[in-house]
Amino acid sequence: MPIDRGAIDAQLRDIGEGDRWWEYREFRDLPHILHVDEQIKGLITGKLLGARGPRIRMAGAWVFVATTHRLIALKQERFARKQVEIAAGQIIRIQPSTRLRSSQIVVETPQRRYRLRVPKSEAFRFAGALATLMPAAPAQPPALETESWSWFPRSVAALPGVAGLVERVSPRSGPDYPSREHFERLELTVEALQNEMERLRNQVSFLEDLLRKQSEDTFLTRSSVDS
């Protein structure tokens, strides 16, 4: 049973899109393609290419639909509709990149690799919609908190090889971060060093000018004596 157009219009409003998409023949087929519990998360037009150029998988304009369940690529031809689907959880990598006149989104699955050539202005938002189809990152195991070893018998802890083990397992305090006063003192020290360097540069410049002037005076004196 096709999805009601009013429900699809509501989904378009939720993602900031309008009814202009109904002008595409591919989009008008969506009510017969979407599942009842499927929601549209992103829409874009472009070209679908293979893993490497210039092998174009299926040239021409495509309509790409990112939903809560899958990525759907649709292209209407004269007598048939071409459709490519990637189910949620099958996308292992999404790599957007910018080209001279367009953007490219590389979608990798365990079986193959697709390249979506799409407009620059809409590529970032559609890549975000595709990211929701990637499998969730595995949860990190909680950090193992070691209880205090105060109960551990000192006679056992003093045995060879045990003391080092207890020391490695025992929790250690975190690093002591410098205070704000420390940073302020450091800034004052750096400022004083910069002022001292500026003073030294001025002195060197003065000495260079003095030596240059003395050299010129000496040259003029010798020239007058020789003449």
- The reported pLDDT for the residue numbered 69 is 94
Quote the pLDDT of residue 164: 55
CB neighbours of 43 closer than 8 A, spacing ≥ 6?
A: 12, 15, 17, 21, 27, 63, 64, 65, 66, 126
Structure tokens at 73: 């690529």
pTM for this predicted structure = 0.58
CA distance 15 to 41: 7
Both tokens assigned to 146: 């070691």
Confidence at residue 23, expressed as pLDDT on a 0 to 100 scale: 92
Q: Consecutive sets of 10 residues in the chain, 227 residues long: mean pLDDT of each?
A: 90 92 92 93 90 53 94 89 91 86 88 91 91 78 52 51 52 58 65 75 85 80 68
